[in-house]
Amino acid sequence: MMVIAALWISILLLGGGFALDRTLVRLVEDNFDEQLEYVQTALISTAEIDSFGDVQLYRSLGDQRFLEPNSGVYWQVTGEGHQPFPSRSLWDRSLELHGDHVDKQPHFYNSDQFEGEPLRIVERTVMLPDSDTEWTFAVASARGELDYQITRIRSILIWSFAALGMGLLTLAMLQSWYGLSPLRRVRNAIQAMRSEGANRISEPLPLEVEPLVEEINALLAHTEQQAEEARMHAGNLAHALKTPLTVLTNAATAHDPKLSDLVCRETKTMQRHVEHHLARARAVGRRATGHSRAEVWPSAESVLRAVTRIYDTTRFDLDGNRNAAVSIERQDLDEILGNLIENAAKYGGGSVFVTIDAQRDSKECIIWIEDDGLGIPEADRARIFDRGARLDTGKPGTGLGLAIVRDVAEIYGGSVELAESEDLGGLLVQLSLPRSAL
């Protein structure tokens, strides 16, 4: 900000100073030239031709300096075939005029013909009455006064614009310093959080940075939530593994003859618990990487092909929107649908219906999984999502499938609800996932 401000201030001041210098210098020079032209006009108006055909003045000019030798103000009249007619101020010198052309209008130019005395000269060619000669009337004046005025003007401009530039740069520095002070206060607040152990920025800050502070506090809250979830899942996993490990330890200590069966059963239970928590960790990590997108129909077809090999006597129907897409990673969508469709086939009576995007007007993509089994009583639908909860213990399982489905769906902002299927009479699982906008 400071460099850009200094650059633009310098460019504008240089441009403005140059333009103002040209304007003022032109005004001073024009005023000087007008005075020379005035004297030239007076000289022409007093000139006449004498009886010998030469130029003479019937009255002298009013400026006394034309009578003083080397006064710095001169005039001279020249004509072809005639001797130059100079003012007394020229004394023993004469003006070297540009006689190779005719100036019908006043012609101004600078000359250095007199050593140490630069001149400003105006020439004009006229025809006087009773004469066929083209006479050149020239008036010259030393440039000392003109150059002095120009030097003073430029000196005033340089010092004025330098002071203006320094003032503007100082104001820009103060403005930048003051304008960025809220960010320094935010930085100090963050440093205080690190050194003092605070978990939020609570210091009152200006309105300009309140959105930033709110986002930082929201990020801190999100980070704390993730850390708390990590601690909770680590504790849950440790608690889930504690019981199988205790069973195995007791059996090994007692030299139980069925130790091998216990090891197989309990290690499968531990493996399922580990897979559950790994699934949650993967879902959280994928969600944090950015916007995810998965097409529902190909995922459902892939899951159905796999489940059909296990439950080859079950009839599976897939219907709905083939173009539906959700904001979730494909691997997580496959795991959710795999658990729900496998449960429907396992506990159903032989028919499973999968409807994709059942309510297309909704902001979420609704997926229905229905079966013709016994269903789940309404009183048990809430606790069935608890880890390890099972209603039908006659079939193999760990009771973690619906817990995984719920946890992964909620990580992506979705939900899972249970109801009774009106068409098949069994369980209806309604899976809601955020619709992808891509």
Place of tokens 């580990």: 274
On whether the CB atoms of residues 22 and 150 are closer than 8 A, the answer is no
pLDDT tens digits along 273-317: 676 666 666 666 555 544 678 899 999 998 998 888 888 888 999
Return the pLDDT at 233.
Answer: 66
Could you tell me which residues come within 8 angstroms of residue 399 by beta carbon, excluding any fewer than 6 positions away? 386, 387, 388, 389, 390
Return the pLDDT at 369.
Answer: 92
Return the pLDDT at 196.
Answer: 74
Place of tokens 């796999």: 306
Return the pLDDT at 235.
Answer: 64
What are the residue ranges in the chain where pLDDT is below 70?
A: 99-100, 197, 232-233, 235-240, 243, 272-273, 275-291, 358, 386-401, 438
What is the b/e burial string over 77-107, where b = at least 16 CB atoms within 10 angstroms of the residue's CB?
bbbeeeeebbbebbeeeebebeeeeebeebb
Give 388's DSSP letter. T
Return the pLDDT at 387.
Answer: 54
In angstroms, rounded to a whole number, what is the distance separating the alpha carbons of residues 176 and 129? 75
Return the pLDDT at 100.
Answer: 65
On whether the CB atoms of residues 277 and 233 are closer than 8 A, the answer is yes
* Pairing verdict, β 315-320 and 351-356: parallel
Return the pLDDT at 153.
Answer: 92
Which residue segments constitute the domains of the chain, with CATH numbers given?
2-150 (3.30.450), 207-276 (no CATH), 291-434 (3.30.565.10)
In angstroms, rounded to a whole number, what is the distance separating the alpha carbons of residues 221 and 211? 15
Helix 144-179 to helix 181-196 angle (10° resolution) is: 30
